[in-house]
Amino acid sequence: MDTVNIKELNERIQLESSFVDLLTMEMNKVIVGQKHLVENLMIGLLANGHILLEGMPGLAKTLAINTLASCVNAKFNRIQFTPDLLPADVLGTMIYSQKTEQFQIKKGPIFANFILADEINRSPAKVQSALLEAMQERQVTIGDETFKLPEPFLVLATQNPIEQEGTYPLPEAQVDRFMLKVVVTYPKKEEEKLIIRMNNGGGYQKAQPILKPEDIARAREVVKEVYMDEKIERYIVDIVYATRTPEEYGLGKLKDLIAYGGSPRASISLAMAAKAYAFIKRRGYVIPEDVRAVCYEVLRHRIGLTYEAEAENITTENIISEIINAVEVP
């Protein structure tokens, strides 16, 4: 690819990505701090991937997705997962109408652009898998009819950290379908003061709809065109391979700590997320820093730890840091 095209692409992406700043500004009216969370929501939106959020209650997870939905002028539904929830409560069901003497289809809350699956690890596996089928296939079958889900379709699932009572941890195969896993942290002291002031002073602003769902679809097409060099592709594959066979990268000590590594889905997600990140940073090409910036979110939930690692209190973050430091940067 010659330099002319890169220059042309760069200019085009600068033009197309101008809405990112608008969207961030609009969200910051409502959400104080949580820059990391907002950035990852953008990546999920642009790369067409679902997001798993982990964090304590009260850290604006629901508020963030709600605000994003109102900025994009899209339909937003919140589903609260409980131990007695059934798949029909999420997807919809057939209802017998006495008037027409026929079964009618009643669509469930999954038919919206943005879904917040709150505390997804509190419901049994059958409900989780019903939701995850919808996420993967982007369609829902009720009775004998299949319905396409609206575009854009983004699922944000929140889970409280697993150690709590009465939770059903998500199976590996299902966790793998989430493109990103974002850990939401507490705000800084300054930010928290601002939060108190906003909530008590009634100076709570509403986010205005500034985008249409069609704009998102167009932006996604442009994100796919972001240029990724072969060297960057090799870098991504090296990182994912290092989670499977660490000894090939001089990380023999990690061999006994990793039960299983990232799947090819991890490589695809890493490439897509890196492209989206470059787009947000208004660049027409991907650099190694982009890959490193999204690496933790993409790989955090895709590496299985052995009992040995858990006994030594080693987290997947430690392992990813070791890998990033060991794999050669192009």
* pLDDT tens-digit map of 202-237: 666 788 888 888 888 888 998 998 889 999 999 999
Tokens of 81: 């997962």
pLDDT of residue 97: 86
pTM for the whole thing?
Answer: 0.88
Stretch (H or E) spanning 65: helix 61-71
Stretch (H or E) spanning 258: strand 258-260
Shared domain for 113 and 246, answered yes or no, is: no
In 28-153, DSSP assigns E strands to 51-54, 76-80, 92-97, 102-107, 114-118, 139-142, 145-148
Distance of CA 27 to the CA centre of its chain: 17
Are 301 and 310 in contact by the 8 Å Cβ rule? The answer is no
pLDDT of residue 2: 52
The CATH number of the domain holding residue 73 is 3.40.50.300
Shared domain for 96 and 190, answered yes or no, is: yes
Shared domain for 139 and 44, answered yes or no, is: yes
Shared domain for 34 and 165, answered yes or no, is: yes
Backbone angles phi, psi at 149, to 5 degrees: -85, 150
The answer to whether residue 8 is domain-embedded is no
Shared domain for 111 and 147, answered yes or no, is: yes
* Beta strands 102-107 and 114-118, pairing class: unpaired
pLDDT of residue 122: 87
The answer to whether residue 6 is domain-embedded is no
pLDDT of residue 19: 84
Lowest average pLDDT, out of 14-18, 186-190, 204-208, goes to 204-208
The answer to whether residue 11 is domain-embedded is no
Shared domain for 178 and 235, answered yes or no, is: no
Distance, CA of 204 to CA of 26 (rounded, Å): 13
Residue 166 pLDDT greater than 80, yes or no: no
| Whole-number average pLDDT of the chain | 87
For 193, the domain range is 20-216
Shared domain for 35 and 184, answered yes or no, is: yes
Are 317 and 296 in contact by the 8 Å Cβ rule? The answer is yes
Shared domain for 278 and 155, answered yes or no, is: no
Shared domain for 43 and 182, answered yes or no, is: yes
